[in-house]
Structure 1
Amino acid sequence: MGTHNYNLTEQFEFTGKAKTLSIIAIVIGIAAIGFGFSKETLHERTFANLLLMAYYFACVCMSGAFFLAVQFVAQAGWSASILRVPEAMAKVLPIAVVILLVVIGLGLYTHNLYHHWHAEGLTDPNSENYDKLIDGKSSFLNVPFFMGRQFVFLTVYSVFAYFLAKWSNNEDVEGGLNSYRKSFKYSCVFLVIYGFTTPIFAFDTVMSLEAHWFSTMFGWYNFAAMWVSSLAAIAIILILLRKAGYMSWVNNSHLHNLGQFIFGFSIFWTYVWFAQFMLIYYANIPEETVYFYNRWENYEFWWYLNLVLNFLSPVLLLMDRDNKRQENVLLGVSIVVLCGHWVDYYQMIMPGAVEKGENGFGFIEIGTALGFVGLFTFTVLRALSKKPLIAKNHPFLQESLNHHL
């Protein structure tokens, strides 16, 4: 089959409305964060929102690198012509990592985050604040070991993301299979490391906000959320680029594949969510049920909205084959899924990070979210504009250009 008449040197120009709107969103985010820190009573809430969005930002970029690795290990042909998008997300990962580490470090230093295990006297038997359970976990939940794990995990992810992007660039310049073989080999290593460490990363960053509670399924629950969010982000960028006249080689079959992934992993996310909930609900052990009781009492609306956005919407709207192939439907569902997993992280993080008296929803939440959306858009599209939009020497490029389902 032929290559058609596609321009294999086509390059995205990051100018105009996309650039302007992303900068405006960043400014709104800075204003929201500044407003939150200007009032002492809102510090915890502001830190919680910063953690939410920094974690979300990092997770989506991490999963961009994960997407690349999965495609290399699977030797997938369908995705060869769209790899520049997750590649751009992977390139941005170091920026997301620095922001997340700064937020966590400042949160620990000021005691506005992780106060359930990092507060005065919790591990001192002579203190009135002594907590026997937290003391028992102190060999794992202590600042040096905690920050060390964060730094090592996130640095390793960033290094693999860097090299996967670098070898893709070398492949464009040098041709041949040497870079592809390196990508395949190191992707195998990366997937093993990623699979074993992302649950621990989720335990540390999110679950330890409520250090008395734990769930062995929490890591996989977070993995499902970050993976499907990344798939939705890739779909949105591809569709918007196609609407802007770029990447004309992306056809409805490519969208169909992405739609299948979003549909399937939304069901997987729901399965893990339900399994975690049902086991805790059925066992009815007070130290376990307190997690859900708190959310029903104080975050009931968000609890149910989470299921509507992340399960019912993608399942009902993407069940039909034709809907997966219609760019407007897939675009709408992908936006819903990204908003849905913001809600997912919101009801995971807020109850443990914010005292009941500081609960609220308003400019801080909306502005911080908009700021990070703007930052993600600006950095990813800027990275995307640095190279041609197609990996012209990828060994499976012809299969992808002629991909039809």
Structure 2
Amino acid sequence: MYTISSKIKLTAAILIILGAIGLIYGFVNTPASVDEVSTMLAEEHAAHGETHAAADAHHDDSHHAEHVYDQLKNRPWASIYTAALFFFLLAVGAFAFYAVQNAAQAGWSPILFRVMEAISTFILPGGILVFVLLVLSSLGYNHLFIWMDPEVVAHDEIIANKVGYLNVPFFLLRAVIYIGGWVFLSWLMRKNSRQMDENFSEALFKKNFKVSAIFLVFFIVSESMMSWDFIMSIDTHWFSTLFGWYVFASMFVSGITMIALITIFLKSKGYLEEVNDSHIHDLAKFMFGISIFWTYLWFSQFLLIWYANIPEEAVYFIQRIEDYNLLFFGMVAINFIFPLLVLVNTDFKRVNWIVVMTGIAILFGHYLNFYVMIMPGTVGESWFIGIPEIASVLLVGGLFLYFVFNGLTKAPLVAKNFPLMKESKHFHY
């Protein structure tokens, strides 16, 4: 049995405390009024040597100040929402990989199942956090989703035409179905898996196979709809039929990467002794393959929209290229070029420190991907990676660290009585 160390508990606590303090600081230091923003903008104009007349030539002061005020008020909310959604979907992605392995009755991966199960324990707290943020948005605490504002809907024909789908009661109901379904099915599979430790039952083995298949069918539909609701609806005028697959690839590769990182960490501490470099090699193959798949989806979506040059579609990328140029193209380089150059080498996939280095880059790159998906529609050109953004990652990352490593203590690290375990332990090639 694995026992969570005091060092991990202390690290998680420090991350949570620092994150909470930083996020509170972010909320406290948002502008208190539009007048305060107007003063701030006037000072910026003066600092850049602009006269008041020149400033007026660029902006209608009152309208621009109100616009920037809304963006700055959104910034800490968007920061915690980005971090919460990233870690939540990472956990769901890891569980989706677990379900695939069960449904395929893969022989190489059962020795890693408890790591996958532990990561999936964050689906419940992560889902609760995301849902609370959605509820607070619906109550008017922020303007992350402009379609939730009745005044905006009343003056926007495009959003008004979507009100049958984009309305708060139906939106929250769908969120309950997505999150509730993922929480229940992940709990059920973990429960059956742990029961098999006590006494093998063919019925339980078959039941988990069926639950895996049910989850995958439910997931492929609910994940696409979730991506429309939780992310794409932020840019309410824009839509893409490829977006669900794009988000899936990001959360899937992030989940697999986290499985690899935690496995390597446990092995370095003397656990999972029967995990060998062939297991790590296979995880790295998935990290490499899904990174390429993500790039294919990114390029397909970008290329078709950019060359079609239809204004209502191209606006999504124009905003990101103009206001988020470095992050937009930087995260593509991190998520594609870095894994391609490193993990294309077969031998490198068996070297733990190389897999860890690449894994950290992948997680950082896909967090930036979520940042670039969410921030332009919520804070626009007023973005900045500062205390609220870093604090949000620390806070949710600390919660993730605690729940995952606490989940590892709930059952033996190597599942007992699993029919394919012997094959997994002797997996070499």
What TM-score, normalized by structure 1, do the two folds share? 0.94
Counterpart check, 1:21 vs 2:21: no
**Equivalent AA in structure 2 for residue 399 of structure 1:** E
**Equivalent AA in structure 2 for residue 283 of structure 1:** A
The CA distance in 1 between the partners of 2:224 and 2:269, in whole Å, is: 38
Matches within 5 A, 1:188-337: 188-337=213-362
Which range moved further: 89-98 or 231-240? 89-98
Alignment length (residue pairs)? 389
1:359 equivalent among 364, 380, 383: 383
The CA distance in 2 between the partners of 1:65 and 1:320, in whole Å, is: 27
Counterpart check, 1:399 vs 2:389: no
SS at match of 2:153: coil
**Equivalent AA in structure 2 for residue 365 of structure 1:** E
2:414 equivalent among 383, 390, 401: 390
1:35 equivalent among 4, 25, 49: 25
Q: Deviations over 1:345-364 (max 9, x none)?
A: 011000001143x3212111
The equivalent of 1:50 in structure 2 is: 80
The CA distance in 1 between the partners of 2:356 and 2:126, in whole Å, is: 24
Name structure 2 gaps, 5 residues minimum.
Answer: 32-71
Counterpart check, 1:86 vs 2:107: no
Q: Deviations over 1:126-179 (max 9, x none)?
A: xxxx11100000000000011110111110011000000000011101213221
**Equivalent AA in structure 2 for residue 258 of structure 1:** L
The equivalent of 1:7 in structure 2 is: none
The CA distance in 2 between the partners of 1:326 and 1:123, in whole Å, is: 54
Query: How far does residue 342 in structure 1 lie from its aligned partner after superposition?
Result: 0.5
Question: What CA RMSD, in Å, does the superposition of the two structures yield over aligned residues?
Answer: 1.1
Contact 2:92-2:123 within 8 A present in 1 as well: yes
SS at match of 1:102: helix
Counterpart check, 1:133 vs 2:167: no
**Equivalent AA in structure 2 for residue 347 of structure 1:** V
The CA distance in 1 between the partners of 2:247 and 2:380, in whole Å, is: 23
**Equivalent AA in structure 2 for residue 270 of structure 1:** T
The CA distance in 1 between the partners of 2:143 and 2:294, in whole Å, is: 26
Q: Deviations over 1:166-195 (max 9, x none)?
A: 000111012132211100011111101101
SS at match of 1:270: helix
Contact 1:220-1:272 within 8 A present in 2 as well: yes
Q: Deviations over 1:208-244 (max 9, x none)?
A: 0010011111111000000000001100000011111
Contact 1:236-1:331 within 8 A present in 2 as well: yes
Contact 2:23-2:387 within 8 A present in 1 as well: no
The CA distance in 1 between the partners of 2:200 and 2:14, in whole Å, is: 40
Which range moved further: 110-119 or 50-59? 110-119
Contact 2:323-2:380 within 8 A present in 1 as well: no
The CA distance in 1 between the partners of 2:418 and 2:218, in whole Å, is: 25
Matches within 5 A, 1:68-83: 68-83=98-113
2:401 equivalent among 358, 361, 377: 377
The CA distance in 2 between the partners of 1:23 and 1:389, in whole Å, is: 24
The CA distance in 2 between the partners of 1:113 and 1:393, in whole Å, is: 51
Q: Deviations over 1:272-309 (max 9, x none)?
A: 00000000001001111111111111100101111111
SS at match of 2:22: helix
**Equivalent AA in structure 1 for residue 359 of structure 2:** S
**Equivalent AA in structure 2 for residue 386 of structure 1:** K
1:66 equivalent among 73, 96, 114: 96
The CA distance in 1 between the partners of 2:388 and 2:312, in whole Å, is: 31
What TM-score, normalized by structure 2, do the two folds share? 0.89
